[in-house]
Chains A and B, each alone.
Chain A
Amino acid sequence: MAGLEIPAWDPETALLIGAILLEAIVLYVGYGGLERLFGPYLMRLLIGGEASVQ
């Protein structure tokens, strides 16, 4: 059976997980900005007229 392991330092894997972490943070900030920029326009497009519902 594959034994239990203490995680060993592996730069390539660390880069991989770091890339996912970075992507998550960028997406959180990026989509947040896009929502503020285009959210009201999208709401008007979806429900028509002046959207007051957030």
Chain B
Amino acid sequence: MFSSLLDGLGIAGTSPEMLALFVGFGLVVGVLFGFFGMGGSFLVTPALLMLDYPAPVAVGSGMAFVFGTAVIATLKHHDLGQVDYKLGVIMITGTTIGIEVGRASVYYLESLGLAGGVISVAYVVLLGGVGAMVTRDALKGDGGGGVDHEAADKDLSEYEIPEIAKTIQRTVRIPPMVTLRGDVRVSAWVITTVAFATGLLSGFLGVGGGFIRMPAMIYAIGVPVPVAVGTDLFEIVFSGGLGSYLYGQGGGVNLGIVAPLLFGSALGARVGSAATAVVDADGIKIYFGGMLLIGSVAVGIGEIGSFLGNSTLELLGLVLVIGAAVVVAFAILYTTVASLRQTRRQATAAVD
């Protein structure tokens, strides 16, 4: 009975080596997510595609992993009072429709035999675009994308609404209008549109969509950063849960992939989150941008290898994706330990 249940959920079908690989990869992804506040799920789906999992399994399991990660992160942010439940509930409608459209597109493309290729190309564009944006911002020195962990601790009144959000709030006044935390008043249709667009991306690529939804909430809706962080995670719990359920019905969620990934990432996220208190994230953000760019190239190489039937190219792509993530995660851990040791030496010298 128990073994048939495990078999049905996909655990028994995963070899011990693969379980170990997923736990290790989850640990790396968790460190990155905990430190940068985004980007973890970017790497999971492409890596699963390169490991020759069918597109619905890669996307569905990636989404289930996002769901589990969001549950853990939301528990933390709920304690900090950074969730606007009204905004979250409104967004759920738009996101749900978006996810379903995205999911239906994946199965349609799968029926044509094009899903793996189209999703990989979308990832190349996405990873390349976001990677270029983060690298550019890091080089300019203004921090760039991702969640600003320190910003999340500021008072809501310290946040100014971006000009573009003010313009949208003034011009798009289609009822019903909604008042959000931080005295933001915006049309429910703006919220729904943002939610639909990010839901579509989530459903199609199996990502949380936070890297799009976060800036969209801040720049299109005008939500203060800490509220955007908490509400985004709250929303991902529902959208990720629903998306996982829909993919799960089609056999797209493999617990043998998700459980070990989550086991590693929950620990990694704690380490990464603690590291933000010690290391300046801006200093490492350029590596993060570089990692996304390498990820983009790797997915491209893997896809070319798959197209040409060249297993060496496919392996190279996989090694590049995982290698880039491992290097950045180790850079974070090394810098953290080095900073702690330096702080201790300075404290000891001061006492002497």
User: Using a Cβ cutoff of 8 Å, how many contacts connect chains A and B?
Assistant: 103
- Residues on the B chain within 8 Å of A14, using CB: 245
Number of interface residues of A (CB under 8 A): 33
The answer to whether A53 and B343 touch (CB under 8 A), given A5-B246, A28-B75, is yes
Whole-angstrom CA separation of A10 from B106 in the bound complex: 21
Contact B67 A47 (CB under 8 A): no
Whole-angstrom CA separation of A9 from B68 in the bound complex: 21
Contact B245 A17 (CB under 8 A): yes
The answer to whether A1 and B104 touch (CB under 8 A), given A21-B241, A31-B270, is yes
Contact A51 B340 (CB under 8 A): yes
CB distance from A42 to the nearest CB of B (A): 10
Interface residue range, chain B: 35 or more
Q: CB of A37 within 8 A of chain B? A: no
- Residues on the A chain within 8 Å of B274, using CB: 54
Whole-angstrom CA separation of A47 from B263 in the bound complex: 26
Q: CB of B218 within 8 A of chain A? A: no
Contact A16 B255 (CB under 8 A): yes
Contact B259 A20 (CB under 8 A): yes
- Select which of A2, A4, A7, A8 is within 8 A of B242 by beta carbon: A7
Whole-angstrom CA separation of A46 from B337 in the bound complex: 7
CB distance from A28 to the nearest CB of B (A): 5
Whole-angstrom CA separation of A12 from B108 in the bound complex: 24
Whole-angstrom CA separation of A7 from B337 in the bound complex: 47
CB distance from B142 to the nearest CB of A (A): 28
Q: CB of B171 within 8 A of chain A? A: no
The answer to whether A24 and B108 touch (CB under 8 A), given A5-B100, A31-B270, is no
Within 8 A of A (CB), among B261-319: 262-263, 266-267, 270, 274, 277-278
Q: Supply 17 further A-B pairs (C-beta < 8 A) apart from A16-B255, A20-B244, A21-B68.
A: A2-B104, A5-B100, A5-B246, A7-B242, A10-B248, A13-B253, A15-B9, A16-B248, A17-B64, A17-B245, A19-B259, A24-B68, A25-B75, A27-B262, A27-B267, A47-B340, A49-B348
Closest 9 CB pairs of A and B: A27-B266, A24-B71, A2-B107, A13-B248, A24-B68, A1-B108, A47-B340, A2-B104, A28-B72
